[in-house]
Amino acid sequence: MRRAVLAGLFVAGLAEGEALAQSFQTVGTGLHWGRFNVYPSVTMNYGYDSNIFYSSNDIDTSTGIISSREFQLQPRILFDLPMGDSWVRWAFAPMFRNYSTDAYTPTKPWSNNFDLDGHLRLGPRFYTTFRDRFVFGTEELQNVDPGGEVVFGDVPFRNHSPSVEVGCNLGARQGASVVWNYNSVQFQTDDAGFYNYRGHGLQARYNYKVSDVTNTYVYAGDDTTQQERFIPVADTIDVETQSAGVGLNQVINRSVTTSFTAGYQAITYTGGSVSNYRGAVLAGNATWLLSDVTRLSFLVRRQPYSSFYLNNNYYLNRAVGVNLMHQAGASWYWRAGGGFENNTYSDPLECGVGCPSEGVIRRDRAWRLEGGVGGQATRTVRWFVGYNVQSRSSNILQADADGFGDPFAYNVNRLFLRIEVGWL
């Protein structure tokens, strides 16, 4: 019983903001509608944000640092269709945002998130696994830039990222599969400092099943992406990524509890600056049940991402993070965590004679700390009170009225209350 309660509270503790629309984790059986299990819910967040634009605290700006109270409302409905060893799930989760400050009104207060997930057995040997995500968003920039180079945006965009795996079991433990993926990001305007891109890729895998829930694989793949950049001048950049490596997935009750990949990537840019990436990549996250009442999760990443920053093709993101959650009572828990990220860019800055950062390669460092207390009031009502702080700095200098400062440095403090009602 304690494991079941902890699992439910753990899902609630990790699901924050936009992450709610991205997670298919569920607790319980939901509501029954024919052959479907239906999970309706609504999440309300109310809090205070000390720096909603992530503005630099090291240089003078016309608006200064804007703080505000923020209200978020996110209804969600998830349909789950189990079919023996197969399943299909679909979720829709719009989000409404409202700020108390008069200095900012969102261009579009509503964002929309669609998710599709499924696994189908095709006879005794063949199977297909598919996943699709569609986002109409503005501030959900993690979909566009997972490495966190850009931190705030108000330009509406569309992001579509489906993937399909088709595989064949060659025996009790061995198998082979092919994975196709597509990713498209289209912004509504051309002068936002972003760029549009679309691309697709293929990956071949040799799979080996270690246990019923753990699968390892060796992979090799090729991806092509075309970027449509608008500043400083209109330009099209072709990006080809070749990769190879090993991976591991652990799936329990259809939820990925452990994933790990390590390999080598060669990224070639045609039409941009001269720098290409050649090097190791690493991505891993895992959750351990240390005891009946304590869970530990961690994240580690070393991954290059294409840059929106001028004069750079890419930046290398290195990140580590850890979260600890402990069930302290029959229906409440506490959690604490933190993380560190480092971004190193590909090319020296070209900003002209007299610029203090001329010829400097940009490097960013960021860290975060968070913690909170939550619980389950009833079977369908959960609550969480949390606090987090984020900070970033770089080695770039920009002139202002008082001399020079770091235009990318910021500090953000948030205090929030979350209430979840429904079947999650």
Long-range contacts of 360-364 (CB under 8 A, 24+ apart): 360/395, 360/396, 362/309, 362/312, 362/315, 362/394, 362/395, 362/396, 363/394, 363/395, 364/149, 364/392, 364/393, 364/394, 364/408
Question: What pTM was computed for the model?
Answer: 0.88
Beta bridge partners of 88: 81, 118
Secondary structure of 182-248 in HEC code, one letter for each residue? EEEEEECCCCCCCCEEEEEEEEEEEEEECCCCEEEEEEEEEEEEEEEECCCCCEEEEEEEEEEEEEE
CB count within 10 Å of CB 272 equals 22
Task: Please give the full DSSP string across 17-69, using - where no structure is assigned.
Answer: TTHHHH-----S--EEETTEEEEEEEEEEEEEES-TT---SSS--SS----EE
Report d(CA 339, CA 349) in Å as an integer. Answer: 28
The per-residue pLDDT string of the chain (424 residues; one tens digit each, 9 = 90 and over) reads 344 444 444 444 444 433 333 344 555 668 888 889 999 999 999 999 999 999 998 887 777 899 999 999 999 999 999 998 899 999 999 999 999 999 999 999 999 999 999 999 998 899 999 999 999 999 998 888 989 898 888 999 999 999 999 999 998 899 999 999 999 999 988 766 788 999 999 999 999 999 888 999 999 999 999 998 876 666 789 999 999 999 999 887 777 788 999 999 999 999 877 789 999 999 999 988 888 899 999 999 999 999 988 778 999 999 999 999 999 888 899 999 999 999 999 988 887 777 888 889 999 999 999 999 999 998 899 999 999 999 999 999 888 777 788 999 999 999 999 999 998 7
Question: Mind listing the domains of the chain with CATH numbers?
Answer: 2-422 (2.40.170)
CB count within 10 Å of CB 19 equals 10
Comparing C-alpha atoms, which of 104, 131, 111, 101 is closest to residue 119?
131
Comparing C-alpha atoms, which of 89, 383, 47 is closest to residue 255?
89
